[in-house]
Chain A
Amino acid sequence: MANWKKIGAGIAVIAVVAAIGAGGWAWHSLNTVASNVADDTTRLADFKSTDQAAIERGEYVMRLGDCSACHTRENGKFAGGYEIGTPFGTLVSSNITPDAGTGIGSMTERDFFNAVRQGIGQHGMLYPAMPFTAYRKFSDQDMHDLWAYMSTVTPVKHDIDENAGMKFPYNIRLAMAGWDMLFFDNSGFRVDGSKDDAWNRGKYIVDGGGHCAACHSPRNMLGAEMGSAYLQGGNLGEWFAPDLTSNPHAGLGTASAQDIANYLQTGSDGVAVAAGPMAEAVEHSTQYFSKADALAVGTYLKSLPASATQPGPVQPVDTPAMQKVALAYEVNCSACHGLGGEGIEGMVPAFKANHGLLSSDATNMIHAMLQGARAAHTHDRQTAAGMPAFDWKMDDRQIADLLTFVRNSWGNTATPVAASDVGRLREFLKASKKMATP
């Protein structure tokens, strides 16, 4: 969600672009002809699907798209209310229950298609926090099924003004037209005939409902995903979404497609454990993937060429200074992460050969040290173990040294962590200072 810093910056520029040329240039990106396959007469509030198979398929599409992560909060199922903080104000997720007054009950199926796949909602253009750029890849069939499922959701009366918390000029939805014009690829999923079904299914999920690139691709100055670094890892401010390419050092190079499938379905491949925003994605979405779909995602990701990221020079850990850090590791970390960095399978991440932690961007490890973290809770792995915070116990240098040690022990190689990076994140997260000791 912290991508919003960049997206917000982009909006400032785009507002101007849009003001000049919201006319003809917008023709392609705003073209909604793809929605014409949907009915434009019956409102959702007046429709209740009885096609049980379609409803069940639609629920699965909802899981693929991870709708509930943002649209379900304490107000009721799909009643919205998830606040997304940005430097330019607060966005609130909408009520997507079939309530006619406060939800999407007065939308027709075509309106629904326009919102989900085109980013054109009932109150105007949607902000790209709603990943319509990815959902554009949803097939017509999946969209019809999703519509059937949404008709079975209990209407909840809960009024939300999605962008009331956004400051001027970011509260002008029309500005998004300019953004769409520049960055929205208004085309559906195209099957690659040279690849097998599993690969195509995997790409469909990754680029479509799964909207993986929303976090795992870096974004440019205007807050759009950079195609040239597709799925090579993205910094979200307080978290880092790791490299998903076959890079053997910091990506999925040493993982098998089945490892990836296990991670998606249970929150762990036996080495890494999902935490932070990925824990939410696993809990709400990927644990519900069928075995075939989870494996398809793994198959597709394994086909991505490795990014160019190289391991940094080896940091020796047998120096006297680092041996003191090793003792700090033994005292503070080894109870759960093990003396050999082996972790506890499926519950506590290993450090040894946990490549998602070896990127040059150590944000995730710094965040976990400062504020703790919690693993995903899934049907198969119920523990959702917590990582305790150490902000009160260690200063920036101690945390940096400990992470450098972990990232360069047991066969690992990674760039050293700078104390200044720990300090910056400590400030950003408003984490405590180390407690004064007498």
Chain B
Amino acid sequence: MTIERPKADVVICGLGWAGSVMAEELTRAGLNVTAIERGAWRDTSTDFPPAVDPDELRWTTRRELLQPMSVETTTFRNRMDQTAAPVRNWSAYQFGWNVGGAGTHWAGMSWRFTPWDFEVATQTRERYGAAKAEGLQLQDWGVTYAEMEPYYDRFERIAGTSGIAGNINGEIKPGGNPFEGPRAREYPTPPLKDTFWMREFREASERMGYHPFTLPAGNISQAYVNPLGVTMGPCTYCGFCDFHGCGNFSKSSPQACILPALMRRPNFTLLTETEVLHAVKHDDGKTAKGVKFITKEGEEGFQPADIVIITAYQMDNVRLMLLSGIGEQYDPATGKGTVGRNYTYQTCGTVNAFFSDKYTNPFIGGGALAVQIDDFNGDNFDHGNLDFIGGAGIMGYSTNGRPIQNMNNLRPGSKRWGSAWKEAYTRDYNQGAGIFIQGTSMPVRDAYLDLDPDYRDRHGQPLLRLTFDWNRNDQNMLRYLTDRSVEIMREAGGEDMIVENQAEESWNPYKQHSSHTIGGAVMGADPTTSALNPFLQSWDVHNVFVVGASAFPNNGGYNPTVTVGALAVRAAQAIHQTYVNNPGPLVKG
């Protein structure tokens, strides 16, 4: 017996950041929206209040807010000649498994991408010549930073982002990031305060002629009422942000920013603990008629809708397109097909060090509590004599002082067990500090996603297969950036440095610092190289929209969330302002 639900104007598959933003826009415009979320309802005061939230063992170590990889996973291999195997633990994969999605457990780093990131193909060719991009599968996004600005602004207002502007309408502002794209106005809330280490990093990088600024943060600095009438509370610098919820309504998240308003709207329906299996197309294949789902109890059902919006995590967005037959699978041998194309990641390194006779007090923390320089990010510096494009943000960060997580962060040569270890940890916990290098990731032909030929999930559907390793460009970039970071750490006075360049050995999902899996269902102006048009509408099935970091054709040296939110606002407005009145392709291919 299958459940046949009443028809909705719009069905949203996955209620994380992207789904919540879309649902809010579309219900406010009067559309009847049903959202389907595989995870359970999660709420601030009942699931992670301040007395429960700092449970490091439960949330960070056991990762109870994340997709359990024993239930649902992805297979992985480095090269096409290998056989992929399912990933059984987490590091690179931090998918949400609850209402709010990964937006509930993210750290809160709230970046806009640079103008260059959106036009990497054109800008690289124009500045350095076509040869510079050889071996890379560069392509523009089909939307410029200038076009994105109002949507960035809208998402930041919803999220309450704390920060200090560096460029307002072309005017460079002291204290902000002089390299950022022009903003229409200041951030909604002022920047967070400096910790000891942030101040040291700021002063050291300034002495070296760089331009430090406080990171834009979704751990907000003061109480704030957003345009939806939802109030957020001030961050307490507790440092239990990534992998955790936020107990005091301070972290930008669907729970703290959108759901209180959305859930009360009579034209919004939410099905929790219900998983979308795939979309179902009409017989002519030109449009979708709804989605097939399965409940926690194993009952299958169908949700009819005029518009299908896929807003799962990046990996699941690509997988749902493939399982639904929306668009053609990308083939790295021929370059044909677009779904699965341009998978990228985030190229990262760390430089940790210790400060004798100083207290770094890492228990004062925040997911996005950091000072950064962007002097070596994107195309902010001349690559003419360098063997790569792109770059990274270099940040001195104070994200957390979680006692379990930091147990291994000791001076080189320290014992790792017994009383000698305890002594070392007592000393080093309070003297350690770190630099994080968060770099761009450029697409190449043989980094892609497809359906695994061997492994299936508990519903009998093929797992998604990732084929990925670091490419030469990104390795060269990180080597250069790591050297710059070591120089800053040395200038700051850090001793006993521990340097980790993640791209020095083959990529594997168990050892990564970043959870930013990107691309695979990318946007663009050319239907032969992109699965989606610049409004995130499928080129092939026009009533399907796919929203997430899956749409980025390349990754910037930044966290993807705010760009995902801005793209979601833009796509939603295109739907209710244009598409519903005249259903069909919003862009001619």
- Which of A's residues lie within 8 Å of B, judged by CB? 332, 334-336, 344-348, 372, 374, 377, 379-388, 390, 393
> What's the minimum C-beta distance from A270 to chain B, rounded to whole angstroms?
11
Task: Of the listed stretches B159-167, B223-231, B323-331, name the one at the interface; the rest are far from the partner chain.
Answer: B223-231
Of A334, A383, A387, A390, which contacts B231 at CB under 8 A? A383
Q: Contact residue range for chain B? A: 20 to 34
CB neighbours (8 Å) of B228 from chain A are 382
Of A344, A385, A393, which contacts B234 at CB under 8 A? A344
Interchain CB contact under 8 A, A393 and B51: yes
Say whether B45 faces chain A, with CB atoms less than 8 Å apart: yes
Interchain CB contact under 8 A, B264 and A348: no
Given the complex of chains A and B, what is the CA–CA distance between A386 and B229 in angstroms?
16
On whether A388 and B46 interact (CB within 8 A), knowing A345-B223, A382-B228, A383-B230, the answer reads yes
27 A-B pairs (CB sep. < 8 Å): A335-B233, A335-B238, A335-B247, A335-B248, A336-B50, A344-B223, A344-B234, A344-B249, A345-B223, A348-B233, A372-B46, A377-B264, A379-B229, A381-B231, A382-B228, A382-B230, A382-B231, A383-B229, A383-B230, A383-B249, A383-B260, A386-B43, A386-B44, A386-B46, A387-B45, A388-B247, A393-B51
> What's the minimum C-beta distance from A224 to chain B, rounded to whole angstroms?
37
Q: Kindly report which residue of chain B lies nearest to residue A373, judged by CB atoms.
A: B45
Say whether B49 faces chain A, with CB atoms less than 8 Å apart: yes
In the complex, besides A344-B231, A382-B230, A383-B231, 10 extra interface pairs with C-beta distance below 8 angstroms are A335-B50, A335-B248, A372-B45, A377-B260, A381-B229, A382-B261, A383-B229, A383-B230, A383-B249, A388-B247
- Which of B's residues lie within 8 Å of A, judged by CB? 43-46, 49-52, 223, 225, 228-231, 233-234, 236, 238, 247-249, 260-261, 264
Given the complex of chains A and B, what is the CA–CA distance between A347 and B224 in angstroms?
10
Given the complex of chains A and B, what is the CA–CA distance between A372 and B247 in angstroms?
14
Given the complex of chains A and B, what is the CA–CA distance between A384 and B264 in angstroms?
11
Interchain CB contact under 8 A, B46 and A336: no
> What's the minimum C-beta distance from B248 to chain A, rounded to whole angstroms?
4
CB neighbours (8 Å) of B230 from chain A are 382-383
Pair count A-B, CB < 8 A: 69
On whether A386 and B260 interact (CB within 8 A), knowing A336-B249, A347-B233, the answer reads no
CB neighbours (8 Å) of B51 from chain A are 332, 388, 390, 393
CB neighbours (8 Å) of A388 from chain B are 45-46, 49-52, 247
Interchain CB contact under 8 A, B223 and A380: no
Interchain CB contact under 8 A, B260 and A382: yes
Interchain CB contact under 8 A, B50 and A385: no
Interchain CB contact under 8 A, A335 and B46: no
> What's the minimum C-beta distance from A342 to chain B, rounded to whole angstroms?
10
Given the complex of chains A and B, what is the CA–CA distance between A334 and B250 in angstroms?
13
CB neighbours (8 Å) of A332 from chain B are 50-51
Interchain CB contact under 8 A, B261 and A386: no
Given the complex of chains A and B, what is the CA–CA distance between A387 and B248 in angstroms?
10
Given the complex of chains A and B, what is the CA–CA distance between A438 and B260 in angstroms?
38
Interchain CB contact under 8 A, A336 and B225: no
Given the complex of chains A and B, what is the CA–CA distance between A406 and B25 in angstroms?
41
> What's the minimum C-beta distance from B52 to chain A, rounded to whole angstroms?
8
Of A334, A374, A380, which contacts B45 at CB under 8 A? A374
Given the complex of chains A and B, what is the CA–CA distance between A344 and B230 in angstroms?
12
CB neighbours (8 Å) of B247 from chain A are 335-336, 388
Q: Kindly report which residue of chain A lies nearest to residue B238, judged by CB atoms.
A: A335
> What's the minimum C-beta distance from A381 to chain B, rounded to whole angstroms?
6
**5 shortest A-B CB distances, which residue pairs?**
A386-B45, A388-B49, A382-B229, A347-B231, A335-B248
Interchain CB contact under 8 A, B45 and A347: no
Interchain CB contact under 8 A, A347 and B229: no
CB neighbours (8 Å) of B249 from chain A are 336, 344, 347, 383, 385
CB neighbours (8 Å) of B45 from chain A are 372, 374, 385-388
CB neighbours (8 Å) of A379 from chain B are 229
Given the complex of chains A and B, what is the CA–CA distance between A42 and B88 in angstroms?
72
Interchain CB contact under 8 A, A344 and B46: no
Given the complex of chains A and B, what is the CA–CA distance between A50 and B255 in angstroms?
43
> What's the minimum C-beta distance from A78 to chain B, rounded to whole angstroms?
16
CB neighbours (8 Å) of A382 from chain B are 228-231, 260-261, 264
> What's the minimum C-beta distance from B43 to chain A, rounded to whole angstroms?
7
CB neighbours (8 Å) of B233 from chain A are 335-336, 344, 347-348
Given the complex of chains A and B, what is the CA–CA distance between A386 and B249 in angstroms?
10
Given the complex of chains A and B, what is the CA–CA distance between A332 and B49 in angstroms?
9
CB neighbours (8 Å) of A347 from chain B are 223, 231, 233, 249
Given the complex of chains A and B, what is the CA–CA distance between A259 and B563 in angstroms?
41
CB neighbours (8 Å) of A348 from chain B are 233
> What's the minimum C-beta distance from A73 to chain B, rounded to whole angstroms?
16
Given the complex of chains A and B, what is the CA–CA distance between A348 and B231 in angstroms?
10
* Residue of A336, A347, A372, A384 with most partner-chain B CB within 10 A: A336
Given the complex of chains A and B, what is the CA–CA distance between A374 and B263 in angstroms?
15
Q: Kindly report which residue of chain A lies nearest to residue B233, judged by CB atoms.
A: A344
Q: Kindly report which residue of chain A lies nearest to residue B50, judged by CB atoms.
A: A335
CB neighbours (8 Å) of A384 from chain B are 260
On whether A336 and B248 interact (CB within 8 A), knowing A344-B231, A372-B45, A393-B51, the answer reads yes
Interchain CB contact under 8 A, B261 and A385: no
* Residue of B44, B45, B225, B249 with most partner-chain A CB within 10 A: B45
> What's the minimum C-beta distance from A325 to chain B, rounded to whole angstroms?
16
> What's the minimum C-beta distance from A383 to chain B, rounded to whole angstroms?
5
